[in-house]
Structure 1
Amino acid sequence: MAESDTQGTADRTAGRHVYEDPPGLWRLRSRGCWTEAAELLAAGSASDPDAALRRAALLTERCLFTASGWAEAEDALRTAEALARTDAERGRAACERGHLAYAATVLHVRDRADEARAALGRGAALLPPGVRDRALLDFRRGLVAENLAGNPAGAKLAYRRAHAAAAAHGDRLLFSFTWRHLAGLALREGDLAEARHGFAKSLRIREELGYLIGTTPALVSLAEVEPETETAARLRGEAHRLFRLLGGIPVWLADVLGDED
């Protein structure tokens, strides 16, 4: 879910994001092997707040891509919340709580929209503007505004804050997410050139990072706004091949890609 950080060594090692997995963990995660990746953190997650939260984040991401594993993610998140001691740790846990509730709601597993909003609001109270963790929080508040509250204007403001912060802190994967969602809003507004630009930026970053599970939706999105028929067909073909290679994830693309030859 960044490879570089402009802050000091202490900031790189304390409160590390799930987006900053070490190589072995990243390879598993980027290919959709969340269970195996979470196992690598299991030993430390019983007592270390950072390991516990990163494990919970991995399992929540699995829920979002597979629509399964909810109970395990919930248990992992409760452990992380219980271990949190500082405002920063509590704020990050609240951000993850909001993300899990958002995923359950947007995938129509259970309506937890109020919980998502409350948790992200709690995170905003604990994580002041300018700190690195706030970028991810702002992005997730944008998701709630766009997809649960039907407020694209509010979503755009949140995505832009997250976009600027991701750039400032060198969080390349989050930067790919903000490019993608700002492009989606541009598409809704009828600005095809801006949408194409943003989707292309998002795809390129994901390919550079080797984020395979996120590359499929990026290919599909770019194909939708590509004016050249042959190029659009090539992008869809790549998306379909990758979708099959990864065992049909993300599941929410099954209707788009699942029936192609």
Structure 2
Amino acid sequence: MAETALSESVVGVPDVWRLRARGCWAEAAALLAPHCADDPVAALRRAEILIEGSFYHLDGWAEAEDALRVAEALAGTDEERGAAASERGFLAYGATLHSVRDRADEARSAFGRSAALLSPGSPGRPLLDFRRGLVAQNIAGNPAAARAAYRRAHAGAVAHGDTFLTSFTWRHLAGLAAADGDLAEARHGFAESLRIRVALGHLVGTAPALLALADVSPDEEAAALRAEAARLFTLLGAIPTWLAPSFPT
């Protein structure tokens, strides 16, 4: 959960995760803003939240970039610099994926820098592995490398108790299984991803998880899953933006 990763000065802000999980990234970032002048962990978390919001809204990239620069300037340890580099790579990946600007080389460079800075046992390594898997799958077109990275990320997330990250590793491993025609494995992974997101109250990530499971489910079950996804999509104000084609009006 987001709050538990914050430094002591920010732990007293109880609503950050609740807002983030409901797609209120600007409001969550605003709660962190007063702490960001001298707290590198708070500054990095604020940048992370705004970057995540950019992925869901397909907008707000410049504000996320500004927040990341603040976090990079405050980072004072290898762990902090490595985490900031991971966010830099993720932001560059997002800009490339969503055709804002081709920053693929920047993403790879930043992830390489992050890997050099984060210790092998760092709790940030699984997230870095996952993000490198995204680049391998969606930019390099290398599903084998993506699968290996997702598996490392999944094992690391489980070892560090990062349940939120496992909802993503399950989902992406399931997507690769579906592409290979292994529908049983795909259903299992998508179901696990959905179960975790519901348990964590991650509403903004639940509609995509429902649709992914629907794609590999029998027709009657799939219809119910898609109907619930549509309900959540409407409830959250048509977020994630990139799901809109799934719900024609």
SS at match of 1:225: coil
Distance 1:190 1:250, change over 3 A: same
State the shift of 1:231 in Å.
Answer: 0.8
For residue 226 of structure 2, the aligned residue among 231, 236, 239 is 236
**Cα RMSD after superposing both structures:** 1.9
Aligned-pair CA distance for 1:138: 0.5
**What amino acid is the match of 1:87?**
D
Distance in 1 (alpha carbons) for counterparts of 2:107 and 2:8: 22
Give the aligned residue type for 2:75. Answer: A
- Which residue identity lines up with residue 241 of structure 2 in the other structure? V
Q: Out of 217, 225, 239, which is 1:226 matched to?
A: 217
The residue number in structure 1 matching 2:47 is 56
Q: Give the Cα separation in 1 of the matches to 2:231 and 2:113.
A: 41
1:72 maps to which residue? 63
Aligned match for 1:32, one of 19, 23, 27: 23
- Supply the distance in 1 between the matched residues of 2:50 and 2:3 (Cα, whole angstroms): 23
Q: Aligned in 2, Cα 1:114/1:76: closer, same or farther, shift over 3 Å?
A: same
The corresponding residue for 2:124 is 133
Whether contact under 8 Å (1:81, 1:93) holds in the other structure is yes
TM-score (norm 2): 0.95
Supply the distance in 2 between the matched residues of 1:188 and 1:56 (Cα, whole angstroms).
33
What CA distance in whole angstroms lies between the structure 2 residues aligned with 1:124 and 1:203?
29
1:180-259 aligned at under 5 Å gives the runs 180-227=171-218, 229-257=219-247, 259=248
Q: Are the counterparts in 1 of residues 187 and 213 from structure 2 also a CA contact under 8 Å?
A: yes
Deviation at 1:14, TM superposition (A): 4.8
Find the partner of 2:103 among 112, 120, 133.
Answer: 112
CA displacement 1:64-95 (0-9 Å, x = unmatched): 00011111100000000011111001000000
Letter in 2 for 1:244: T
Question: Gapped runs of 5+ residues in structure 2?
Answer: none
Q: Does 1:47 align with 2:38?
A: yes
Match of 1:8 in 2: none
* TM-fit CA distance, 1:108: 1.3
Secondary structure of 1:110 counterpart: coil
C-alpha change, 1:146 and 1:21, in structure 2 (3 Å) is farther
2:143 to 144, 152, 165: 152
Partners of 1:241 and 1:198 in 2: how far apart?
A: 23
Judged with a 3 Å threshold, the aligned counterparts in structure 2 of structure 1 residues 21 and 145 are, in CA distance, closer, same or farther, namely: farther
Counterpart check, 1:161 vs 2:152: yes
Q: Which whole-Å CA distance do the structure 1 matches of 2:164 and 2:99 have between them? A: 26
TM-score (norm 1): 0.91
Tell me how far apart the structure 2 counterparts of residues 232 and 37 of structure 1 sit (CA, whole Å). Answer: 33
Kindly provide the amino acid, as one letter, of the partner of residue 219 in structure 1: L
Deviations 1:123-170 (A, max 9, x none): 001112222110111110111110011111111111001100111111
Q: Which amino acid aligns with 2:64?
A: A
Superposed counterparts of 1:5-16, under 5 Å: 14=7
Within a 5 Å distance, the mapping from 1:169-184 to structure 2 comes to 169-184=160-175
Identity of aligned residues (%): 65
Higher RCO structure (Cα 8 Å, ≥6 apart) = 1
Q: Is the 8 A contact 2:13 2:31 kept in 1?
A: no
Aligned mates of 2:97, 2:125 — CA distance in 1: 22
Instruction: Give the distance between the partners of 1:23 and 1:183, measured in 2 at CA.
Output: 33
Q: 2:237 corresponds to which letter in structure 1?
A: G
Query: Matched residues in 2 for 1:21 and 1:255: separation?
Result: 40
Contact map agreement 1:101 1:116 (CA 8 A) in 2: yes
1:206 Cα offset (Å) = 0.2
Structure 1: segments with no counterpart, 5+ residues: 6-11
